[in-house]
Amino acid sequence: MNVATILKAKGRSVTTARPDHTLQDVAGKLAARKIGAVVVVGENGAVDGIISERDVIRAIAERGVAALDMPASRFMTRDVVTCSETSLVDETMEMMTSGRFRHLPVVEDGALVGIISIGDVVKNHVATVEMEVSAMRSYLATG
């Protein structure tokens, strides 16, 4: 199973922000779309960074409410780990577990084409396990 399978089910839309958008803008997007992270893209559409709810909390803890008027670029993670549509779902689970983050932008030829979260991966994993259990049960019943 690869990332393209997950994108087919959930769609390819990605919520993005510009580096100069304020943390308030980012927090507003996270709340309005009920999501955990926003991908920060530059003018050329390339991934510049990622900013998650955890970064917003850290920014406010360190700077107080003044952080909300500061640019996203100040708080985003710049060294973004990405995957491609052909990445295996098991590989992405390993990337998120070892990197201790829950979001993985999907990039093809330098262009952002989707995002998957740990929730998408777990959902896919549970569906796969359920299918295997059901196949095993019918095999045993007819066996």
**Residue ranges that bind ligand AMP, judged by CB under 6 A:** 36-37, 50-55, 77, 80-81, 101-104
Q: Which of residues 79 and 141 has its CB atom nearest to ligand AMP in the complex?
A: 79
User: What SS3 state is found at 107?
Assistant: strand
User: Cβ 127 to ligand AMP, closest distance in Å?
Assistant: 22
Question: Quick one: 33 or 137, whose CB is closer to ligand AMP?
Answer: 33
Tell the smallest beta-carbon distance from residue 10 to ligand AMP (Å). 16
- CA separation, residue 73 to residues 14, 45, 91, 92, 119 (Å): 18, 15, 28, 25, 26
Q: Which residue has the tokens 């920014």?
A: 59
State the DSSP code for 70. Answer: S
CB of 62 to ligand AMP, least distance (A): 13
